[in-house]
Structure 1
């Protein structure tokens, strides 16, 4: 219980969001009964399940085994970084960006037991990679799911629409990875104890992972979460007490803050004008709004006035780069990194990536139109 309370008491981001929410409560035009509906509870339930399952796999010790094998396979930092970036981009195209991070970031963190690597920088690049890779498919991230469901494109048509941007950004990211990681040999150090792992807990976590993914498809996520909690209560209660519960509070606070922000009288007064904006203005608005309220809420908000066009889809996906709130995946990756320095280091790579993506995206759109 003390560990749980400490995570809430030391969460500066949560405190900032709560303070902002208190201010917005005084300024926004809203009804109190509408606040609970402002939270996307399906996302919260999904995130809770993924946090539990990832912690279950981590507690089983299998990430240590996998990390040792990964370190044994690569000799140089650059080769390992390129592999992890490609893996993050590929997984995010069909597992969604959040799930890809929940698999790769804990695995990345175990590498410190076997070698000396710039792990925080590697996690930053994995966050950038899932933003670049997930934009390719209609199921890669939540904003694409929304855009695809509101549009008329087939799966193949959506992929064809997004492919030029996805390919270019992935090539850019691979080039950036090449120059950001040195070709020096990985300094390895043995750790025989790390190879011990709990096979029953690992098998249970994998089985529950498959059940949870199926439940997402069948819209039975709540029941699956109850099953997961019940199984870990019986087999590994430590999983329930050691996950980042304050991260869930951060997401709830973000949803409420975004709702209040969009209900400010000044915002509501000018919102109708969005439907009459030109392509350039929509492009900049979607990217800029993503930087402030994240690209998923920005997509939800703008879909009320703008059709799900190619330009709109490109813009909100590009908006995932840049500032930390641009994509919820950024927040997940950096929270899991457990390194205070990573918060400002992230922007050293993400802000240039945003500027480059904005420029290249606009030029590609003009070229292809």
Structure 2
């Protein structure tokens, strides 16, 4: 029942399910368009990351950094950098879900009022930017890495030029955070120790998943074996996987497969991705309207230009609240802690994100040129 409840409460899934149903009625469902390698990769990574969450790995690192932060500015910088680098391996969603509650809990208990808005926005931005650097950092990278059959070197050559500018921008923006002294209550940042045996098994399974995404391992049976191992060490792992997100991905595949059957829609999308630069512009703009994951699935079948599509959808995660699902997750968490100022948060989120989107768009244009 808890799993069924997730489906009912997930608004994105419900919208996609309705669109999938009507597209299927109009054009017929194209089940062969579903990329099962991507679905299995996502399922395996989600299961492994849930296991890491239960072991408290990221929590432990965050607590260590918090205890060794003498000021609010240093705390924010440490958490932002952790969000950036952890998102590379544990995805942007997990980085935000884990780190934002820790950060907001600390900020809320500071005697002198300190605004949580800029720090929270930077945590979200850092998670989005960090996740772009790895093929398994976010769902669109997993899909595009598989669809265009990139090698690791090819992938890094496209997105790694964003690494230094990202760290530079994030560090500079953290200078605008209050430099107020900070004292951390030990009870606030306490956490349980991880089981060494479970940590070794989870890490091994995680490496298997990475190898599968990178085409080093091709057998899905080995992936399923790894997932089974996780079930033995932590029964809750598979029950807490985000199944609505997996179903949403399947819905995206079916919708795109249906759209291909419509000649006028097919012609329109083909016009958008005729050239390298038009693909780049279209992917970044469409991400603002429907999020970067469905944008990548929608445009990839019509474009031979994988590089600008990969760059455009990743940069397109900046901007609107729906440009990346991670943005919505961050907003929801902030709203739970600070419901009275969530409108102010949205205003500054949009201002900062669109400024960064403009800057990164130019950086991406330069990379492609």
Distance 1:254 1:347, change over 3 A: farther
Counterpart Cα distance in 1 of 2:18 and 2:304: 34
Distance 1:53 1:140, change over 3 A: closer
Normalising by the residue count of structure 2, what TM-score does the alignment of the two structures yield?
A: 0.72
For structure 2, the 5+ residue unaligned runs are 109-114
CA contact (8 A) 1:144 1:313 kept: no
Q: Give 1:321 deviation, angstroms.
A: 1.5
How many residue pairs were aligned? Answer: 357
Aligned to 1:47: 42
Task: State the Cα deviation string for residues 128-182 of structure 1 (Å, max 9, x = none).
Answer: 22433455678866559848996999938963x6566554454334333443x43
- Aligned to 1:86, the other structure's residue is in SS state helix
CA contact (8 A) 1:124 1:346 kept: no
Aligned to 2:236: 238
Counterpart Cα distance in 2 of 1:245 and 1:148: 21
Distance 1:267 1:9, change over 3 A: same
Counterpart Cα distance in 1 of 2:4 and 2:270: 44
- Aligned to 1:195, the other structure's residue is in SS state coil
The structure 2 residue matched to 1:172, chosen from 152, 160, 169, is 169
Aligned to 2:65: 70
Aligned to 1:205: 202
The structure 2 residue matched to 1:115, chosen from 69, 87, 106, is 106
Aligned to 1:353: 353
Map of 1:20-169 to 2, 5 A cutoff?
20-27=19-26, 29=27, 31-32=28-29, 34=30, 36-90=31-85, 95=89, 99-101=90-92, 104-105=95-96, 107-108=98-99, 111=102, 115-116=106-107, 124-133=121-130, 135=132, 142-143=140-141, 146=144, 155=153, 159=157, 166-169=163-166
CA contact (8 A) 1:4 1:245 kept: yes
Distance 1:347 1:284, change over 3 A: farther
CA contact (8 A) 1:109 1:119 kept: no
Distance 1:362 1:147, change over 3 A: farther
The structure 1 residue matched to 2:191, chosen from 189, 194, 205, is 194
- Aligned to 1:189, the other structure's residue is in SS state coil
Q: Does 1:182 align with 2:178?
A: yes
CA contact (8 A) 2:288 2:323 kept: yes
For structure 1, the 5+ residue unaligned runs are none
Q: Give 1:86 deviation, angstroms.
A: 2.9
Normalising by the residue count of structure 1, what TM-score does the alignment of the two structures yield?
A: 0.72
**How large is the Cα RMSD of the aligned pairs?**
4.5
Aligned to 2:245: 247
Counterpart Cα distance in 2 of 1:151 and 1:4: 33
Aligned to 1:11: 10
Aligned to 1:228: 226
Counterpart Cα distance in 2 of 1:122 and 1:253: 35
Q: Give 1:339 deviation, angstroms.
A: 4.9
The structure 2 residue matched to 1:287, chosen from 281, 284, 288, is 284
Counterpart Cα distance in 1 of 2:36 and 2:258: 17
CA contact (8 A) 2:135 2:142 kept: yes
- Aligned to 2:191, the other structure's residue is in SS state helix
- Aligned to 1:254, the other structure's residue is in SS state helix
Q: Give 1:303 deviation, angstroms.
A: 5.3
CA contact (8 A) 2:320 2:353 kept: no
Distance 1:72 1:294, change over 3 A: same
CA contact (8 A) 1:63 1:110 kept: no
Distance 1:121 1:19, change over 3 A: farther
Counterpart Cα distance in 2 of 1:207 and 1:367: 35
